Amino acid sequence: MLESFFNWRRALPAAGFALAAALAPAPLFAIQQAGAGPKPADAAQSTAKPAAKSWSVRMSKAAPYTFTVKAKESPLPEIVQELSKLVKVPVTLSPLMAKQKVTLDFAGLNLEATLRMLAPQGYIDYVAGGEGGDEPKPLALYLQGANEKAPPTTAAVHGNSEAILIEGDTEEGTDSEAQRKREQEDPLRVTWANNQLSVRARKQPLTVVLFKIASEVGVPFEMRYETPELVDVDFQNYPLDQAFRSLSPGVRFYYRVDLQTFQVLPLRLALLPPAAPRT
């Protein structure tokens, strides 16, 4: 009997383990199996990290805005896309520049200087004028290779109409002295030379003054608003953006800056209706 007792004690642990296994809930084993470790392919996928960007573009938080760009053999289109998002202005790359990669490291440059760092040739289309004499606003940016043809002047700036003004005196004589006297007494004189504008207007209709300026500068004049406003100004050798801010808040002057030569190319002149009052 003693021998049977010892045999029973040896069998008891094994029976206990079998009973515990039978009573254990199924999820327990599922969790243990799941934790046994992923397959090699799964492990590689779980530890893989996205490739780090090889560039960064930042813009200062307050005006005048400046830019910081760092890049190492990075696609230029990616950098330009981020720049466009920051300034909220479309950027056009020529087919040649769209294939380029760049290495850059600069900080604290304004928009024009930044574009000069990105491409051999750049252009910016601006609009000047408006309430409060705001600074000119960029409308479109262009980046091109050296010696590539400039973008069309109507790429971003175009209008639907052009004003025509007929003026003159059919009885006007040809006497040179009388002509000089009339010029001296003329209530409206406009001169355009060396990218600078001079205007002398004595209580002249704004539309007449703008048409005269557009004729001298050689750009279309779009009159989107008829106004009885009179102009009484006298200034000499003003840059165009400053000149138009001196005339009326409704005047808009569109122009292009060549970032290689810094030449200003006038594009269009327009007279807009007054802005609606803010509520």
Which position has the higher pLDDT, 195 or 212?
212
Which position has the higher pLDDT, 32 or 113?
113
Instruction: Determine what percent of the chain is predicted with pLDDT higher than 90.
Output: 53
Distance CA 76, CA 150 (A): 19
The token pair that represents 102 in the structure block? 């760049």
C-alpha 91, offset from chain centre? 7
Tens-digit pLDDT profile for residues 89-122: 999 999 999 999 999 999 999 999 999 999 999 9
Q: Which residues pair with 93 in a beta bridge?
A: 143
Residue range 53-77: average pLDDT?
95
pLDDT of residue 34: 43
**87 with 79: CB under 8 angstroms?**
no
Q: Quick one: pLDDT band at residue 265, thresholds 50, 70, 90?
A: very high
pLDDT of residue 35: 47
pTM over 0.85: no
Please give the mean pLDDT across all residues of the chain. 79
Q: Quick one: pLDDT band at residue 42, thresholds 50, 70, 90?
A: low
| Domain regions of the chain by residue span | 55-119
Which position has the higher pLDDT, 203 or 275?
203
Nearest-CA neighbor of 272 among 232, 221, 220? 221
Tens-digit pLDDT profile for residues 248-263: 888 999 999 999 999 9
